[in-house]
A and B are shown apart, each in its own frame.
Chain A
Amino acid sequence: MPATTPDWAAIHADPRFADLHARKSRFLWGLMLVSVVFYFLLPIGAGYFPALFKIKVWGPLNVGLVFAFSQFVVAWGIAFIYERRATREFDRMAAELCAHYTGVQP
């Protein structure tokens, strides 16, 4: 652990931190909203629109099953998208800030 305590207020006021914060917040809460809405379409659809879920698309495979499978794909997709963006962008921005204020990589 570095001996000196970084000036937290200075980092907080740094425009680069504000930039990281703004990008992260928009992206994270946006993804969160998409995933929650998409997930709750499943119980809502099953409960209130069963006729839609019963439509057969491929042999006995119906819309309901396809939609349930799609939940897995969407959850994995969101995780994948987040991972890419975090590794390429957020990690790099955070590392730059750390390096600037302490002289060491976190």
Chain B
Amino acid sequence: MNLGSSRNLVFLLSSMFAATSANAQTLAVGAVAAEFKWLTFLVFGLIIALTMFVTYLAARRVKSTQQFYAAGRSVSGIQNGWAIAGDYLSAASFLGIAGLISLYGYDGFMYSVGWLVAYITVLLVIAEPCRNIGKYTLGDILAFRNDPKKAKTVAALSTITVSIFYLTAQMVGGGVLVKTLIGIDYEVSVIAVGVLMLAYVVFGGMVATTWVQIIKAVLLVVASLLLVFFTWMPYGFSLPEFLQAAVSDPKVQAQVAKLLGDPATQMSASELGQRFLEPGLYLKSPIDQISLGLALVFGTAGMPHILMRFFTVPTAKDARVSVLWAMGIIGGFYVLTLFLGLGAAINVGALKISAIDAGGNMAGPLLAQYIGGGAQSMLGNLFLAFVAAVAFATIVAVVAGLVLASASAMSHDIWVGVVKGEHATPKEEMRAARISSLIVGVIAIVVGIAAKGQNVAHLVALAFAVAASSNLPAVLLTLYWKRCNTRGIVLGMSMGALSAIGLVLVSPNMTYPNLVRATNTPLVASAQSKIDTLSAELASATDPTTAAALDTALKAAQTLRAVSQTKIDQVEGQTRSLVGLQAPLISLKNPGILSIPFGFLCVVLGSLIGRRERRSEDLWEELYVRQNIGLHAEGSSAH
């Protein structure tokens, strides 16, 4: 049955892709030229076929809930390290950070640091204790010494909230990305991501998800290493020479001049170039930076899909080894993105990168195309196709991890733990797990399509802020503080999550129609006047090099006008934000600096106020001993 269904899925997908490639000419233009589209689909097809084969093998193994949720706890430390990296390095890190570096230099690189430092918290205080006392979910950890039904309900709600925020960002980002890269319809790519991910999760559970994440992480690292090798080689692998090439590049200098505006006129060309390697071109508010840093450093350890990975290894020691590997891979990858970003700034140029995608997401793919020999060459397009396929695999792998985490919260915590009072047969729980995965997967596809065109970038930061303000205080205090009890975690988790969401709803992240019009109307006007000037110059240009340069600048101005005009059109007839505000109440974009301490405070207050709880204090000694020495930890299926 599994095999038949997998075949049907593959057929469905391949016919979907075939149909789109036939229409490729008529659809929106992607970064890949129409005559090379077949190459992209070939590489996509190969990677999908490989992951489907792995899922087919996994489906034969996944017979029990322990296999479905935790891959039988038989994943090795090294494998889990790669899988964590595959689960964590989303398209935002792969394409987004390289893009930020290519457009804003130093600030993009600085932004990447917090994503690695986050794993120190995971390593030191979360991974091993959670492995020692947990079973499958965040709810299991919190239910250990708190009231199981209440703890599982609140943990499941929080897990689903965090996962849906993160999922939406991934689905929308993925849809836009695939459309930009290869020009297939947004809806088609959202459905393709959703259907593929569902095939992995429903048939192969955690076993297939783990292998898809490992394959994706290996592909990502190989692609990045190759790109960096060829980018850095012309400079004899010397860091100062490479940096010198960046600061003395006229395209980099022009980008800095554009970002700085008036003050740039006082600066020499070399000063402008050097400015690219200095802070402040992108991140203007230090408090927001610190707030985001807090959300990353404390939120990663509270991410349900990351926590879940620690239940797949046999022992706490393997959990530790897996974080070490993950830190090596994730950190190494972020160091590589510096070279990818600067390489794209030198070889492709900020103008061309932002002409295709204003957020800079195409920096990495365009660099790949350049290194292979450019837009007209076969090799260049093969490289581009490879990077595009890796980006696609990235989205699918991250989404699969998120769906599995929320599905397990739904079936294991809510259905089995709360509704059935732990009285479900293994067969029933297995069915519940698969049905939950289907439900979450369908929600992800529907939300992804519904949120088309919305600005969802802040949803990733919000997911981390909620995890840091709600999940982390509850887990940390359950593990390390004797007086922590059910009232504390229920109050702390609900208040932590609500405060993070509430602060974002009144923050500048939301759309304020009046402000959008005020900002974008002058932008449309200035872009229009630039278009007029450039068109006139282009008409009279005789030299082909000048004409080409003018043409690129003209296209960039046209994109800018179109983007600004779209923003104005989207808020037509509106005056108030989603929660009815004309202007933001706070200037903080990232709520962490307020909501994280508030979450901790609520857990503490909730625990201290009112009657003391017998169960949570009686079980403290057992929990504290077990989390430290690993006695009675859930064994692997080999036992």
Task: State whether A75 touches B116 (Cβ < 8 A).
Answer: yes
Q: How far is the CA of A28 from the CA of B122 in the complex (A)?
A: 12
The interface size bin for chain A is: 35 or more
18 CB contacts below 8 A, A to B, read: A35-B120, A36-B297, A43-B289, A43-B290, A43-B293, A44-B286, A47-B279, A47-B283, A47-B289, A58-B239, A62-B277, A71-B113, A75-B327, A76-B331, A79-B120, A79-B323, A91-B317, A98-B631
Which residues of the other chain, B, contact A98 by a CB distance below 8 angstroms? 629-631
On whether A106 and B631 interact (CB within 8 A), knowing A28-B125, A64-B279, A72-B334, the answer reads yes
Query: For residue B538, which residues in chain A have a CB less than 8 angstroms away from its CB?
Result: none
Q: B291-324 interface mask toward A, CB cutoff 8 Å, 1 = contact, 0 = none?
A: 0010001000000000000000001010011011
- Interchain CB contact under 8 A, B630 and A32: no
* Closest chain B residue to A21, Cβ basis: B628
Question: Is the CB–CB distance between A17 and B625 below 8 Å?
Answer: yes
Q: How far is the CA of A43 from the CA of B114 in the complex (A)?
A: 10
The answer to whether B377 has its CB under 8 Å from any CB of chain A is no
Q: Say if the beta carbon of B123 comes within 8 Å of chain A.
A: yes
Give the distance to chain B from A92, nearest Cβ to Cβ, in Å.
Answer: 11
Instruction: Kindly state whether residue B633 has any CB partner on chain A within 8 Å.
Output: yes
- Nearest B-chain residue to A36, judged by Cβ: B297
Q: Measured between alpha carbons, how far is A51 from B15 in the docked complex, in Å?
A: 58
For A54, what are the chain B residues with a Cβ–Cβ distance below 8 Å? 274, 278
Interface residues of A in 85-106 (CB under 8 A from B): 86-87, 91, 94-95, 97-98, 101-102, 106
Number of residues of chain B lying within 8 A (CB) of chain A: 59
A102 / chain B contacts, CB cutoff of 8 Å? 631
Q: Are A46 and B317 in contact (CB under 8 A)?
A: no
Residue from the list A1, A50, A60, A80 in contact with B244, Cβ < 8 A = A60
Find chain B residues with CB under 8 A from A39 CB: 113-114, 117, 293, 297
Residues of A within 8 Å of B244, CB to CB, are 59-60
A61 pairs with B239, CB closer than 8 A: yes
Chain B nearest Cβ from A64, distance in angstroms: 6
Q: Which of B278, B632, B635 contacts A53 (CB 8 A)?
A: B278
Task: Sort A-B residue pairs by CB-CB distance and give the 5 closest, nearest first.
Answer: A47-B286, A59-B240, A46-B279, A94-B629, A43-B289
Task: Say whether B109 faces chain A, with CB atoms less than 8 Å apart.
Answer: yes
- Asked if A46 and B334 make an inter-chain contact with CB atoms under 8 angstroms apart, the answer reads no
Whether A58 contacts B331 by the Cβ 8 Å rule is no
- The reply to whether B286 and A20 form a contact with Cβ atoms under 8 Å apart is no
- A17 adjacent to B628 (CB under 8 Å): yes
- Given known A-B contacts A39-B114, A46-B286, A78-B120, A60 and B324 have beta carbons under 8 A apart: no
- In the complex formed, the residue of B with least CB distance to A69 is B335
B40 to chain A, nearest CB (A): 33
Q: From B238, which residue of chain A is reached at the shortest CB distance?
A: A59
Assess the B277–A64 pair: CB atoms within 8 A: yes
Report Cα–Cα, A12/B117, bound state, in Å: 32
On whether A9 and B632 interact (CB within 8 A), knowing A60-B274, A75-B331, the answer reads no
Q: Does B110 contact A (CB under 8 A)?
A: yes
Given known A9-B621, A60-B247, contact A50–B279 (CB-CB < 8 A): yes
Q: Chain B's nearest CB lies how many Å from the CB of A104? A: 9
Q: Is the CB of B120 within 8 A of A94?
A: no
Q: Are B120 and A75 in contact (CB under 8 A)?
A: yes
Q: Assuming the A-B contacts A17-B628, A60-B240, A82-B124, are A53 and B279 also in contact, with contact meaning beta carbons closer than 8 angstroms in the complex?
A: yes
A72 adjacent to B277 (CB under 8 Å): no
Chain B residues within an 8 Å CB radius of A11:
621, 625, 629, 631
Complex interface residues of chain B between 91 and 147 (CB less than 8 A to chain A): 106-107, 109-110, 113-114, 116-117, 119-121, 123-125
B232 within 8 A of A: no
**B290–A44 contact, CB under 8 A?**
yes
Contact indicator B120/A32 (Cβ below 8 Å): yes
Q: A6-B632, A11-B625, A39-B113 are in contact. Are A64 and B278 (CB under 8 A)?
A: yes
CA distance A91 to B283 in the complex (A): 43
CB contacts (< 8 Å) of A78 on chain B: these are 120
Is B632 a contact partner of A40 (Cβ separation < 8 A)? no
Q: How many angstroms between the C-alpha atoms of A98 and B132 in the bound complex?
A: 13
Which residues of B are found within 8 Å of A40, using beta-carbon distances? 290, 293
A28 to chain B, nearest CB (A): 5
Q: A60-B244, A75-B327 are in contact. Are A46 and B289 (CB under 8 A)?
A: yes
By a CB distance below 8 angstroms, the chain A residues around B277 are: 60-62, 64-65
| CB atoms of B324 and A24 under 8 A apart | no
Check if B113 sits within 8 Å of A68, measured CB to CB: yes
Smallest CB gap from B279: residue in A = A46
Nearest to B323 among chain A residues (CB) is A79
Residue of A nearest to B106 (CB): A64
Bound-complex Cα distance A94 to B631 (A):
9
Complex interface residues of chain B between 609 and 639 (CB less than 8 A to chain A): 621-622, 624-626, 628-633, 635, 639
The residues in B between 317 and 366 inclusive whose CB is less than 8 angstroms from any CB of A are 317, 320-321, 323-324, 327-328, 331, 334-335
Instruction: Give the shortest distance, in Å, between A66 (CB) and chain B (any CB).
Output: 11
Q: A32-B121, A39-B113, A46-B289 are in contact. Are A20 and B628 (CB under 8 A)?
A: yes
